[in-house]
Chains A and B, each alone.
Chain A
Amino acid sequence: MTRRLPARLAALAATLLVTLVIGMASACAQEAPAATIDPLPFKNHAQEVRFQKLTRQMRCLVCQDESLAASNAELAQQMRHIVFEQMQKGWTNQQIKDYFVARYSDYVLYKPPVKPSTWLLWFGPLVVLLLGAGAIVITVRRRRHGPPPTVPAADDDEW
């Protein structure tokens, strides 16, 4: 019995983890098929794919947790029409993004550009990771070079 219990717990934990991962993956996948709410006369399929991809990279300003592609808000619909028209005029994705950034700031983009004001955002996690790695390396080295813990059980200082 004593050996089985940890094994069972491990199996339970694994099942929970797998369920969680599958759940999250399907939740993310649901975002994708939210096709255009209003049908637009695209020239071809490639253009429609490009439109879908581009509007998914931009944020609806009214319902800020929704992308431009998925939002039902009137403003989002209007912005989609503008994107569509600009594509017909031959604008590049960058030109279209710049047009909206000039009016609504970087906020309109889901992926903020790398620039001095966003360095902390982009590289902060890496810095924290390196700090943590550094702390581990220092701790391990100290333990290796320091006096061996002869009587660990009696040492109250260790934790």
Chain B
Amino acid sequence: MTRTTRALPLTVFIALLALLGFGIWWGKYHLPREVPSPLINKPAPAFNLPRLDVPGKDLTKADMLGQPYLVNVFASWCFACGEEHPVLMDYASRLGVPLIGYDYKDKPADAKAWLARHGSPYHMVVSDQSGLTAINFGVYGAPETYLIDAKGFIRYKHIGPLTPKVIRDVLEPKIAKLKREGQS
């Protein structure tokens, strides 16, 4: 048995250790709770939802074509949405695209009261009381945020509360890119 054969167990051990390290590193950036959306770069599902802020009016996907916009799924019962809310209040006017509030599985009265109490960062608010349209978007919790381009394609989805870091590092560059696309 030569020296190489003797070094083999150590090599294998180091390789396993490297695999473990890779697993830990991978797990840091790939949360199992975050279900990857198959709808990225695909057309957003058609929707027709009642406006919460303007009684008697609906908002459809066709209404929004021609400009990029953000859809933020929230609910008055959602604790993390309360955490996200001040961030949205802070950034909404500076994002350069309309921010649409998507009230998810919520009583309209509860949502209205919630927005009255905390203030509304949204340009428009739609209500999906049953949550059935949300299934077409692949929503499985709140908050979730979708970036939709001028052609109605979903370009990005963020799961969980938006943070200043996510907005600065991810969302704003993506919005800037969509705006550049629109000009050319």
- Chain A interface: which size bin? 10 to 19
Known: A64-B32, A157-B6. A82 touches B135 (CB 8 A): yes
User: Per a CB cutoff under 8 Å, which of B35, B136, B137 touches A61?
Assistant: B35
B140 with A75: CB separation less than 8 A: yes
CA distance A14 to B131 in the complex (A): 53
User: Per a CB cutoff under 8 Å, which of B39, B131, B137 touches A75?
Assistant: B131
Residues 32-56 of chain A, each 1 if its beta carbon lies under 8 Å from chain B, else 0: 0000000000000000000000000
B1 with A104: CB separation less than 8 A: no
Which of B131, B135, B136: most chain A CB closer than 10 A?
B135
Closest to B32 in A: A64
Interface residue count on the B side (C-beta < 8 Å)? 18
B55 interface hit (Cβ, 8 Å):
no
Residues 23-46 of chain B, each 1 if its beta carbon lies under 8 Å from chain A, else 0: 000000000110111110000000
**Chain A positions near chain B (C-beta within 8 angstroms):** 61-62, 64, 74-75, 78-79, 82, 101-105, 107-108, 157-159
**Chain B positions near chain A (C-beta within 8 angstroms):** 1, 6, 32-33, 35-39, 105, 131-132, 135-138, 140-141
